[in-house]
A and B are shown apart, each in its own frame.
Chain A
Amino acid sequence: MSEPNRSRRQFLTTALTLPIATTSLSGCGRSGGRKIVLRFRNGFTGPDGRTMLRMVQRFNAANPDIEVLMQRMDWATYYNKLFVSGLGGRAPEVFVLQTHAVPRFARARFVRGIDDLTAVPNGLPVADLDSNVFEAVHIGDRHYGVPIDLWPLGMYYNRQLFREAGVVDERGQAKPPTDADGFLDAASKITRRGSGGQTDRWGFVFTNFESNVYTLMLQFGGRFFTPDYSRCVLNDPNNIAALQFGVDLIHRYKVAPPPENYDAWIGFRQGKIGMAFEGIYMLADLQKQKDLDFAGAPVPVLGTEAAVWSGSHNLCLRGDLEGKHLEAAWRFVRFVSDNSLDWAEGGQVPVRRSLRRTPRFETMAVQAQFARQIPYVHYLPRLPFIFEFQTEFGLAVEKALRKRATPSESLAVAESNINRIIERERNAGNPVGEMPV
């Protein structure tokens, strides 16, 4: 490293950074000119990201006075980034929040209520939205976002495995089960040992502990919190029975392999699993698997009542948005909502009832099947500390499914931990229940 090299490098570094520094200090947005720039941030990576990007491009083309810049990253880091950017006053104008995250951000005064925007004549036809979906973002006295879709859990089943196992209807078509008996029957017929002595085909697999077991518990009539969220009641006999059923699937009926975490989904793609409960968002992934003959159906009722885990994406507005930006942002929100059939193509269920009655939606077979469950979908509990709840819940389920603790033991531990968190939050002046904002 001789001297001339080093000083030349130093010079280069300065020479290159100076122009960048000056341009960066000249303010935000590449558009310059008159356009209103809206930053739209979401967690849509993968194929649905590309679907949304195309919608954004269409909006920009149709609205020359607005430019929507889409910024996306994967969900895990998305929320961190959103939060950090809020600290710096750089929060985006429009962003997506999954329903379970809304209480968190609403409480932090990050999100703007939208009722004043929907009330006006040209607002959003809220009556057209599924009421249980819209009410899920109703906190305190206002709604905090516009749901653009629903992603319920549903059953994906491998038609070929069904046919080979003889689980068919009169016409020889694969027949998805609708109740516990049918489910166990199908699962045990499909499970079989391969040539190596190991089971190489399973009737069922747990892909996502949280959604799968949450659904089971709901179906068994379980509860999680007292209605005012003052206490966690996870250690409820119905929850225990539901979790026990899950444990039995693996260890007693032996129709599911020991839990592997979400990579178990690969097995379904490989054609080795008969049934799996996963969200509608997995559809795009499956459609790539050209050699897989699969279909969708509602989750069978394995307990006493029909219920299924679900989530939604909601378009939300930054808390302090106003004036021209507010108006432009609302226009964008309306656009996405009105065009949610395009969005549904990527593997979602639209929540505008009128759009579901169209022939175009009927052609989306899997989405249509999953949509049948809308009347009885349930969201995660409305907690600001939802992530800690998910950690405790996931841990309890995992321990039980791996048979390292009985269902009641693991649920009891989770319940007391969560109650301790509720206590902690209450002492810190953050009451957990419905928050007045």
Chain B
Amino acid sequence: MNYRRRAGYLAYLFALPFLLLFTTFVILPLIYGLVLGFFRWDMLSPNPARFVALENFREAFADAYFWRALMATVRFVVLAVPLTIVLALSLAVGLNRVPRRRQAFYRAAYYLPTVITISVTGILWRWFYNSEFGLFNASLAPFGIKIPWITDPNWAMPSLVLMTLWWTVGGPMVALLAGLQNISPAYFEAAALDGATGWQSFRSITLPLLRPVLVFVLVLNVIGGFQVFGQVYMITRGGPELSTRTLVQYIYETAFNNYRMGYAAALSWLLFLVIGFFSVIQFRMMRER
């Protein structure tokens, strides 16, 4: 029908600039990267790239370091994501209750760490976490406590999570706050008239109305969690004893230190599948409600 076709063209016109950039700088490179996973291309050798089908993937499944990296990544996500979301939501709700004038201050305060670049945050927290000379242990020394923040494999990941909370809760908090503020207060007034408690109206009004933004924040946080790299690189470099070497760090090292581009591409494929798997589960769970 004419109207539908015109509407269709119009929609594509709106979307064209984005789709153009997206195709050129995301899809094309992605295809390149994916295809590369089926080749063996090691810059260390003068041999050109060679098609090896699934050999890289077979190597990955047999690669103990791959599984270790995957485990480290999952450990990070399981620790970091729920804490971040819960904290961000609580802060957003809390901030929403504060009078406007003061709200700006709190919002800035909690978002501030996010604007600090990773190289500086890395130095700062490395100093905090140094067991011998660091700030945290120096403050705990009078109590006789000495925590091996980043020198003990059992402590290192939680320490990174703690730093990540500080560094990244601002973003989700701001997004959730914007979402909260888009909810008309009329809903709450009506609920209050009906005698609903704060918690009840939170559950039956706030959460459902916040759902799109919440989904957005959650999905991105999970994805970001699986891709964690900067903090690891700057603070522990994958140690101690490779306990914090996440998958992206492993891929990065494989590509840029070992120059095994084909293998790195295959690993990226696998990471992509893992993330995709969890994202699909998430979307399903969100929809079921």
Asked whether any CB of A lies within 8 Å of a CB of B in the complex, the reply is: yes
A residues apposed to B, CB below 8 Å: 79-80, 83-84, 104, 107-109, 196-198, 257-261, 263-264, 266-267, 270, 272, 384-385, 387-388, 391, 395, 398-399, 402, 404, 425, 428-430
- Smallest Cβ-Cβ distance to A262: which chain B residue: B237
A104 touches B132 (CB 8 A): no
DSSP majority for the B interface?
A: loop
B window 34-74: CB within 8 A of A: 40, 42-47
Q: Does B27 contact A (CB under 8 A)?
A: no
A83 touches B133 (CB 8 A): no
Chain B contacts for A107, CB-based, 8 A: 44-46
Complexed CA–CA distance, A272 and B130 (Å)? 15
Set of chain A residues within 8 Å of B237, measured between Cβ atoms: 261
Which of B40, B130, B146, B150 is in CB contact (< 8 Å) with A428?
Answer: B40
Q: How far is the CA of A425 from the CA of B150 in the complex (A)?
A: 34
Q: A385-B44, A429-B45, A430-B42 are in contact. Are A261 and B239 (CB under 8 A)?
A: yes
Residue of A nearest to B59 (CB): A424
Q: Are B239 and A257 in contact (CB under 8 A)?
A: no
Q: Given the complex, which residues of A lie within 8 Å of B83, measured CB to CB?
A: none
**CB of B240 closer than 8 Å to a CB of A:** yes
- 9 closest Cβ contacts across the A-B interface? A80-B256, A387-B257, A430-B45, A384-B44, A108-B43, A263-B130, A266-B133, A429-B47, A107-B44
Query: A101 → chain B, closest Cβ, in Å?
Result: 10
Interface, chain B (partner A; CB < 8 A): 40, 42-47, 126, 130-133, 141-142, 144, 146, 150-151, 237, 239-242, 253, 256-259
| A398-B241 in contact (CB<8A) | yes
Complex CA gap A388/B254 in Å reads 9
Q: Which of A79, A109, A429 contacts B256, CB < 8 Å? A: A79
CB of B54, distance to nearest CB on chain A (Å): 16
Partner among A104, A198, A395, A398 whose Cβ is within 8 Å of the Cβ of B44:
A104
A385 to B238 CA separation, bound complex (whole angstroms): 19
Distance in Å from the Cβ of B52 to the closest Cβ of chain A? 9
Q: Contacts A198-B146, A260-B131 hold; do A428 and B256 have CB atoms under 8 A apart?
A: no
CA A179 to CA B259, docked complex, whole Å: 41
Who on chain A is nearest to B256 by CB?
Answer: A80
Q: Which residue of B lies closest to A383 (CB)?
A: B44
CB-defined contacts of A83 to chain B, threshold 8 Å = 43, 256, 259
In whole angstroms, what is the CA distance A207 to B189 when docked? Answer: 63
Q: Contacts A398-B239, A399-B241 known; A259 to B151 CB distance under 8 Å?
A: yes
Q: Which residue of B lies closest to A257 (CB)?
A: B132
User: Min CB distance, B72 to chain A, in Å?
Assistant: 14
Give Cα A196 to B141, complex, Å.
8
Complex contact B258–A260 (CB within 8 A): no
Can you spell out 25 A-B residue pairs with CB atoms less than 8 angstroms apart? A79-B257, A83-B43, A107-B44, A108-B43, A108-B44, A108-B259, A196-B142, A258-B151, A260-B131, A260-B132, A260-B151, A261-B150, A263-B126, A267-B132, A270-B133, A385-B44, A385-B258, A387-B257, A388-B257, A395-B241, A398-B240, A399-B241, A404-B241, A428-B47, A430-B42
A198 to B141, CA, bound (A): 9
Q: Which residues of B contact A402 (CB under 8 A)?
A: 151, 240-241
How many Å from the CB of A40 to the closest CB on chain B?
22
A258-B151, A259-B151, A398-B241 known; A428 and B132 CB under 8 Å?
A: no
Contact B258 A387 (CB under 8 A): yes
Which B residues are CB-close (under 8 A) to A428? Answer: 40, 42, 45, 47
Query: Chain B contacts of A257 at CB under 8 A?
Result: 132
In Å, the complex CA distance between A402 and B155 comes to 14
B258 touches A388 (CB 8 A): yes
- Inter-chain CA distance A258–B241, complex, in Å, is 14
Question: Chain B contacts of A259 at CB under 8 A?
Answer: 151
A197 to B141, CA, bound (A): 10
Quote the shortest CB–CB distance from B190 to chain A (angstroms): 31
C-alpha spacing A385/B151, complex, angstroms: 27
A437 → chain B closest CB, angstroms: 8
Q: Given known contacts A80-B256, A261-B239, is B133 in contact with A430 (CB within 8 Å)?
A: no
Contact B130 A266 (CB under 8 A): yes
How far, in Å, is A414 (CB) from chain B's closest CB?
Answer: 12
Q: Are B151 and A430 in contact (CB under 8 A)?
A: no
Other A-B contacts than A264-B132, A387-B257, A430-B47, 7 sampled, CB-CB below 8 A, are A79-B256, A84-B256, A104-B44, A107-B45, A196-B141, A388-B257, A391-B253
Q: What residues of chain B lie closer than 8 Å to A385, measured between beta carbons?
A: 44, 258
Q: Chain A: which residue is nearest B131 at the CB level?
A: A260
* Complexed CA–CA distance, A217 and B239 (Å): 23
A9 to chain B, nearest CB (A): 14
B40 contacts which chain A residues (CB < 8 A)? Answer: 428
A197 proximity list for chain B (CB < 8 A): 144
Q: Which chain B residue has the least Cβ–Cβ distance from A109?
A: B46
Known: A263-B130, A266-B130. A387 touches B42 (CB 8 A): no
User: How many angstroms from the CA of A258 to the CA of B148 in the assembled complex?
Assistant: 10
Chain B residues whose CB sits within 8 angstroms of the CB of A395 once the complex forms: 241-242
Q: Would you give the shortest CB distance from A391 to chain B, in whole angstroms?
A: 8
The residue of chain B having its C-beta at the shortest distance from the C-beta of A10 within the complex is B17
Most chain B beta carbons < 10 A, residue from A197, A267, A272, A387? A387
Choose among B132, B151, B253 the residue with the greatest number of A CB atoms under 10 Å from its CB: B132
Task: Return A163 CB to nearest CB of chain B, in Å.
Answer: 23
Cα(A260)–Cα(B258), bound, Å: 26
Chain A residues whose CB sits within 8 angstroms of the CB of B130 once the complex forms = 260, 263, 266
Task: Please give, as numbers and ranges, the residues of chain B lying within 8 Å of A429 by CB-CB distance.
Answer: 45, 47
Residue of B nearest to A388 (CB): B258
CA distance A391 to B42 in the complex (A): 18
A412 to chain B, nearest CB (A): 15
